[in-house]
């Protein structure tokens, strides 16, 4: 439990700094945004109470906001992503995805199977980016362009998730 707490704190600091100080200042081809800190929301432990989960996501978003001068934008999308995560585990029977009936620890392919893990991550990532880009554009005028940004950036994020999970896998768990 103690180890899990520390690994989550380290993940928070590392991902938020990486996002706010480096990736927000990198122009990616095709105007895409490379978001990595939603990984933090995806990898928060199962046993975390829902309000605490929302608060963690909100704080992560807010920290990125403060680092890159768009107060509220990341906070709103991160909170939305955390909410989607909560709903996902509420509406989908746990036995459907997870091998354990009352799961503990970090969500990972080891516990949920690659299919289940990616399916779950897709929902969180997609809603995060939907929130982010539609709030940023704040109109449906360029609907398909915004949709393209959402899908493209979500894909990037998913790729970084798969990479991170594969690279940092240790003893069947992440970091």
Partner 1 sequence: MNQLLQILKRNLYILVFLLLETLSLVLYFRNNQQPSARLYDMAAGLKGAFLSIGGDVRTKAVLKAENEALQEENAWLRACLETSRIPLWHLSDTVMDSLYSQRFIFLEARVVHATLNLANNYFVLDAGSSQGVEAGMGVVSPHGIVGIVDKVSEHFCSVLPVLHSQSLVSVRLADLGYSGSLSWPGVRYDEALLSDIPSHARIRIGEEVITSGLSAVYPGGIPVGYVEEVVSKEGEDFYRLKIKFSEDYHRIRNVYIVKDLYKEELESCRQVSGQI
Find the shortest distance in angstroms from Cβ 86 to partner 1: 6
Q: Which is nearer to partner 1, 11 or 85 (CB)?
A: 85
Residue 87 or 163 having the CB closest to partner 1: 87
Report, in Å, the least distance between residue 19 CB and partner 1.
Answer: 14
Instruction: Indicate the length of the chain as a whole number.
Output: 175
DSSP category for residue 89: H
Nearer Cβ to partner 1, position 71 or 115? 71
To partner 1, the closest distance from the beta carbon of 135 in angstroms equals 7
Whole-number Å distance between alpha carbons of 129 and 33? 9
CB 75 within 8 A of CB 39: no
Least Å from the CB of residue 123 to partner 1: 16
Nearer to partner 1, 82 or 157 (CB): 82
Return all residues near 57 (Cβ < 8 A) that are at least 6 apart.
40, 41, 44, 78, 79, 81, 82
- Least distance CB 117 / partner 1 (angstroms): 22
Instruction: Output 79 or 154, the one with its CB closest to partner 1.
Output: 79
Tokens describing residue 28: 């990616």
CA-based nearest residue to 38, from 82, 94, 98: 82
For partner 1, the binding residues (CB under 8 A) are 25, 27, 31-33, 50-51, 53-55, 58, 61-62, 65-66, 69-73, 75-76, 79-80, 82-83, 86, 135-138, 141-142, 145
Residue among 39, 57, 123, 141 at smallest CA distance from 85: 123
Strand partners, 174: 169
> Do 118 and 166 contact (CB within 8 A), yes or no?
no
């Amino acid at each position: 439990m103690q180890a899990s707490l520390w690994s989550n704190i380290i993940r928070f600091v590392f991902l938020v700094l990486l996002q706010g100080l480096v990736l927000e200042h990198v122009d990616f081809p095709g105007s895409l945004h490379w978001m990595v800190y939603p990984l933090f929301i995806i990898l928060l432990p199962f046993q975390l109470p829902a309000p605490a989960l929302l608060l963690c996501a909100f704080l992560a978003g807010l920290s990125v906001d403060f680092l890159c001068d768009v107060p509220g934008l990341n906070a709103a999308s991160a909170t939305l992503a955390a909410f989607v995560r909560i709903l996902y585990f509420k509406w989908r029977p746990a036995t459907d995805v997870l091998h354990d009936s009352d799961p503990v620890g970090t969500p990972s392919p080891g516990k949920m199977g690659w299919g289940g893990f990616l399916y779950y991550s897709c929902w969180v990532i997609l809603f995060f980016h939907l929130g982010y880009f539609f709030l940023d554009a704040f109109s449906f005028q360029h609907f398909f362009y915004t949709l393209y940004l959402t899908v493209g950036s979500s894909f990037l994020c998913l790729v970084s998730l798969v990479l991170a999970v594969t690279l940092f896998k240790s003893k069947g768990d992440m970091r």
